[in-house]
A = this chain, B = another copy of it.
Amino acid sequence: RTLRIGLIPGDGIGKEVIPAGRKILEALPASLKLKFEFVDLKAGFEAFEQTGAALPEKTVEILKNECDGALFGAVSSPSKAVKGYSSPIVALRKRLDLYANVRPVKSVMTAKNPIDMVIVRENTEDVYVKEEKTYDTPEGKVAEAIKRISEKASFRIATMAGEIALRRQKIRDSGVPSIHKSPMVTITHKSNVLSQTDGLFRSTAREALAAHKFASSVGVEEQIVDSMVYKLFRQPETYDVIVAPNFYGDILSDGAAALVGSLGLVPSANVGEGFAIGEPCHGSAPDIMGQDIANPIATLRSVALMLEFLDEEVAAAKIYSAVDANLEEGRLLSPDLGGTASTTQVVEDILRRL
């Protein structure tokens, strides 16, 4: 099988980690019978300055028509509002209907307090519909944004969460050690204040998870989002799969990343029907760009995650365990983890372990 992968480095350290992602795909053992072709694509603030478009139409077209998956680095936000500029990743998620943002946050098993959760974030609506308006009143300006929650999107994201919970159980059943015993999905919302929008998310998610294929095996519980943030930090080991509307998912995944010590470890995949874009959770980190010290692990794990959603689970597992081996040994670590290894050295070490 040949997979055609779009590479969108974006800005800042995106340009250093996406090449690492390409390298690991090229280094996968021949026995897997996987071939890769790559297409370099533009998006981001630099692209905006060069071409006037943060997400050039060509990038969307090529992804849609020619690619099986993609890797997205990071983009810089301008420090002040710039007319006509808006985040290309948010646009891309919508244009390709990548309705799920899947963010596994996992410590090594030997950590003092191991955690192993997946945040399944709705990826197309909530305040990310970006429908805003501003008007003048005698007391000054007032701005409003729409937060939109639909039954359709809530149902499919909760279904995805249930499926991921089952898939994780299957992996545990196959003998892979885990801190969890049985699958559990936690529904996050704020329906005590937002009775209609978050109320709809809550009831629809409950309904989706009551489906026959989940009902007998996947536990379901709920957390109000503020209390979820609290518990995330007090008892993170409790959580298996967390499903959340777009914005809460954004917050919770950064919070969970703090628990494993660095955003530089946390991958994500933007997933739609038959398409996935791997994307490290970290930003473009202009303060450290060009120094070869960015942690490539978030990207390498995002590559694996993308492969999982393209049904290449064996290849994905190879990458995960090479990364885990590097972390467990703890000899070649990037500075965000307290080490002194360069990006290049970390990548080499992990490739060696494939």
Contact = CB atoms under 8 A, between A and B. Distances in A.
Interface of A: 77, 81, 86-87, 90, 127-128, 130, 132-134, 137, 139-152, 155, 190-197, 199-200, 224-227, 229-234, 247, 250-251, 253-255, 257-259, 263, 283
A144 B226 contact: no
A151 B142 contact: yes
- A128, A226, A259: which has the most chain B beta carbons within 10 Å? A226
13 contacts: A81-B195, A81-B199, A134-B196, A141-B151, A142-B148, A143-B196, A145-B149, A146-B146, A229-B229, A229-B254, A230-B257, A233-B255, A234-B258
A71 B283 CA distance: 43
Given A81-B191, A130-B193, A141-B151, 15 more contacts: A86-B195, A87-B192, A133-B196, A141-B200, A142-B148, A142-B149, A142-B151, A144-B147, A144-B197, A145-B196, A146-B147, A190-B247, A226-B254, A229-B258, A234-B258
A194 B251 contact: no
A197 B150 contact: no
Contacts of A152: 139-140
Chain B CB within 10 Å, residue with most, of A142, A149, A250:
A142
Contacts of A87: 192-193
Contacts of A191: 81
Given A81-B191, A132-B196, A258-B234, A150 B139 contact: yes
B193 A143 contact: no
A263 B193 CA distance: 20
Contacts of A132: 194-197
Contacts of A254: 226-227, 229-230
Given A143-B148, A144-B147, A251-B225, A230 B200 contact: no
